[in-house]
Amino acid sequence: MIINTGGRTDTVQYYTKWLLRRFSEGYVLTRNPMFPNKVSRYELTPDKVDCVVFCSKNYKPILPHLHDITDRFHTYFHYTITAYGKDIEPGVPSIEESMETLKELSDLVGKQRIAWRYDPVLLTGKYTISRHLETFERMAEVLAPYIDRCIFSFVEMYKKLEVNMPEIHPFSVEEMNLLAQGLGSTANKYGIRIQTCGTNGDYTRYGIHASGCMTLDILGKANGIEFRNLKHKGMRQGCHCIESRDIGAYDTCMNGCKYCYANKNPQKAFENFRYHDPDSPLLLGQVRPEDTVTQGVQKSFLKGAGNGKTSH
């Protein structure tokens, strides 16, 4: 199975101590977002986990201890660095600081295990197409030697976003093509493989690949391992990723990004943080008497997994 540590919250930035303890103790509990009284247990051991996938906007807190996980598990890292400032991403470090941290991460784990995420791409009066292309090129020039690929997507215009960001300007088809053409050209200039993520539309004519951002092919090549040829069901419509189990929780990320889909509102995350105990197997709170804890299914995707999994 694939463990995802950062789909619901920025676990690395705000819950590093908890995350490290879970891998040290060898198991984690996670609540079902739809049925809060249902809790799943997953073993965090090399024989049960094929790969651990991270996604964060700030890896600085975990860098000194990351080897505790990378020494035992196959891993892959998504590092989100966008063109936005504190006006849209108040809890995220500056572009310059983020790029320096990505370099440090790359030195520790190898460029083949790092995807730079430039998403979501959105337009406002301040963040125009020209600004995106200028910022993207500045970043691509610096990051090219340290990454495996770049992943981008256009923002999804869901209702909550229209309320949180009234200044947002919906993309036209022409604007999407113009931006995709510019991103593809710049990526090609610096030798970066660029692909979309969950974006409907074909931009292959601009040198942009259409692929899931968490496929067995990507994870396998990054770690020098071979997976079985399995259908990728995806996590939502338009997604081509392999299924995974997320150990985080919604309404817990304190980055405060205005486009966030994982928080009902920014304040909710700060309120929930009061219930976080680094020693608890759950990200928030403890197991309650009314909870039902069941062992989660952990099937290996590795080729020849029946003969035993070999960890690196």
d(CA 72, CA 51): 10
pLDDT score of 235: 55
Alpha-helix runs per DSSP H in the chain: 11-14, 16-25, 67-70, 95-109, 129-143, 159-164, 173-189, 216-223, 266-273
Q: Which stretch, 36-50, 159-173, 189-203, has highest mean pLDDT? A: 36-50
- The stretch 129-151 carries a mean pLDDT of 98
Which residue range is the domain that position 290 belongs to?
Answer: 2-304
Give the residue-averaged pLDDT of 86-109.
Answer: 97
pLDDT tens profile 53-81? 999 999 999 999 999 999 999 999 999 99
Binned at pLDDT 50, 70 and 90, residue 232 comes out as low
Residue 129 in domain? yes
Q: Is residue 309 part of a domain?
A: no
Integer Cα distance of 245 and 31 in angstroms: 11
C-alpha distances out from residue 233 to 166, 205, 219, 238, 289, Å: 34, 26, 16, 10, 35
Separation of alpha carbons 198 and 193, rounded Å = 17
The model's pTM is: 0.93
Q: Please, which pLDDT band fits residue 311 given cuts at 50, 70 and 90?
A: very low
In a domain, 209, yes or no: yes
Residue 84 has pLDDT above 90, yes or no: yes
Say if residue 312's pLDDT is above 50. no
pLDDT band at 49 (very low <50, low <70, confident <90, very high): very high
Average pLDDT over residues 235-264: 82
Instruction: Name the average pLDDT for the chain.
Output: 91
**Does a structural domain hold residue 312?**
no
Residue 255, in any domain of the structure = yes
In the numeric block, which tokens belong to residue 69?
Answer: 């996980």
Number of domains in the chain: 1
Q: What CA–CA distance (Å, rounded) separates 42 from 29? A: 6
**Has residue 111 got a pLDDT over 70?**
yes
Q: How high is the pLDDT of residue 238?
A: 56
Total Cβ atoms within 10 A of residue 134? 14
- Answer whether residue 122 shows pLDDT above 80: yes
Q: Considering only residues 145 and 308, tell me which one the structure prediction assigns the higher pLDDT.
A: 145
Which residue is listed with tokens 């890292």? Answer: 77
Give the model's confidence band at 240: pLDDT under 50 very low, under 70 low, under 90 confident, else very high. low
Report the pLDDT value the prediction gives residue 206, as an integer from 0 to 100. 96
In a domain? residue 311: no
pLDDT at 306: 57
